[in-house]
Structure 1
Amino acid sequence: MHQRKLGDKSYPMGVWGILIIVCFLWTIFGASCDSNQSATKKIPMGIVSINIDLNLPSYMHLVNPGSYSYFEGGIKGVLVIHDYDDNWYAFERGCAFEPTKACSKIWADSISIQLRCGSQGPREFLPCCQSKYTFGGYPTEGEARGRLGQYTIQRSGNALSVYN
């Protein structure tokens, strides 16, 4: 009885053709299916250059992990976060789901320790969509599939620089 080997010419050409097509499609679509990157690239980002002196009374709270502050700049504003893991983040405040929608603005919720999309009403938070994010900018629930738009942030002593 004759056993077929992969290199054997008697192996059906149809299987090789299918294998080549599958590998080709895997390469094409597998390399381009990073939904986080594609969703993040759609977030409009403005020119940002913010310097923060952590010695000033209005910014001293940022020294504590779990703190945050809002700044003018970018498209919808900039949110600076000192996360509980002692990392610093600076995000564009447009939601990753529909960043250009009028109500799409990111707000920090220190009680639930998450970021939410919507607006602060006179008595309660008014969601724009159901998207919620970690303080690191990753979506945890809702429609958003990508990370929030992130600006570069550097700390040197008691000075923070946020830029792009």
Structure 2
Amino acid sequence: MNIQTLPNSVWSWRWFHGLLFVCVLGCSQDTSDDAIPYVPFADIVVNLNLPENTVLRSKGGYRYIDGGVRGIILYCNGANSYFAYERNCSFHPNEACATVNVDASTLFMTDPCCGSQFDFATGNPQGGSAWRPLRRYQTSLSLSELIITDNAIQ
């Protein structure tokens, strides 16, 4: 064994282990964050016949409405099927910027603060830092009135 190459191989070995250690610490999922706070609210009644709610009559239509912690995303999943998601991101929800919006593509929801993406079908994270789903509120339809209650589905 050449003595000149020993220090390089030792340095390479230490560098590799150092990089592995940093990646294990820095690349692992952060599960230490708090849960989305719970803020009770009175039932919200949305009249689907009002002009501002016509977007909710077709699949993929959505509206931001008041309620919950940071507001609610009301999403039409199809005929007589609606989802109501808390806009407070599930990753570090106490940070000032942890607010979820509907992506410009209208195919998913996203939090520009942490880069997390959530699907409309379940509210589950599809990318980014979040590991918990968004809080989904219970909805019920009675004729042309959609009622959102603060009972969480998940």
Identity among equivalent pairs (%): 31
Partners of 1:132 and 1:139 within 8 A in 2: yes
Matches within 5 A, 1:18-57: 42-48=35-41, 49-57=43-51
2:149 aligns with 163
Distance 2:106 2:57 in 1: 20
1:146 aligns with 132
1:76 aligns with 70
The 1:75/1:154 distance shift into structure 2, 3 A limit, reads same
Distance 2:48 2:130 in 1: 32
Distance 1:97 1:86 in 2: 30
Partners of 1:107 and 1:116 within 8 A in 2: yes
Unpaired runs of 5+ in structure 1? 1-37, 118-126
Deviation at 1:83, TM superposition (A): 2.1
Deviation at 1:157, TM superposition (A): 1.7
> Which of 58, 68, 72 in structure 2 is aligned with 1:64?
58
The 1:68/1:158 distance shift into structure 2, 3 A limit, reads same
Unpaired runs of 5+ in structure 2? 1-30
Deviation at 1:110, TM superposition (A): 4.5
Deviation at 1:86, TM superposition (A): 6.2
Aligned length: 118
TM-score normalised by the chain length of structure 1: 0.65
The 1:112/1:156 distance shift into structure 2, 3 A limit, reads closer
Instruction: Kindly provide the CA deviation profile for residues 103-142 of structure 1, in whole angstroms up to 9, marking residues without a partner as x.
Output: 000101241511001xxxxxxxxx2012001112111001
TM-score normalised by the chain length of structure 2: 0.69
Partners of 2:138 and 2:149 within 8 A in 1: yes
Instruction: Kindly provide the CA deviation profile for residues 11-67 of structure 1, in whole angstroms up to 9, marking residues without a partner as x.
Output: xxxxxxxxxxxxxxxxxxxxxxxxxxx99x811122232100000001111010101
Structure with bigger RCO (C-alpha 8 Å, 6+ apart): 1
Instruction: Kindly provide the CA deviation profile for residues 65-122 of structure 1, in whole angstroms up to 9, marking residues without a partner as x.
Output: 10111111111111111125863111111101111110000101241511001xxxxx
Distance 2:71 2:104 in 1: 19
1:115 aligns with 109
The 1:112/1:79 distance shift into structure 2, 3 A limit, reads closer
Distance 1:82 1:43 in 2: 23
The 1:138/1:53 distance shift into structure 2, 3 A limit, reads same
